[in-house]
Amino acid sequence: MKTLTEQELKVSGIEALNKVLGATGALKFLSLLHREPTDYVEVSRRLYQGQTIDEICERAKKNLKPKRG
């Protein structure tokens, strides 16, 4: 396995959190680590800027894992 730079490690970590927890869960987790207030409305605006509701919903459907059990 290749040794990652600090920047690559940060990006990979955020991507992994986003994949497992989703955007909202990842942001909440990171804010817990920093214990600083986060403006989730502003973060969401930036995260979804330029995307339609249909695009966001379609991506969410693709990433939705079926429930087991």
Q: Is residue 47 part of a domain?
A: yes
Q: Is residue 55 part of a domain?
A: yes
Q: What string of pLDDT tens digits covers the 69 residues of the chain?
A: 577 788 888 888 899 999 999 999 998 888 887 776 667 788 888 888 999 999 988 888 887 766 665
User: What is the domain range of residue 42?
Assistant: 37-69
Into how many domains does the chain fold?
Answer: 1
- The separation between CA 2 and the C-alpha centre of its own chain, rounded to angstroms, equals 24
Q: Is residue 16 part of a domain?
A: no
Q: Is residue 2 part of a domain?
A: no
Q: Is residue 67 part of a domain?
A: yes
Q: Is residue 19 part of a domain?
A: no
Q: Is residue 17 part of a domain?
A: no
Q: pTM (2 decimals)?
A: 0.45
Q: C-alpha angle 43/63/51, rounded to 5°?
A: 45
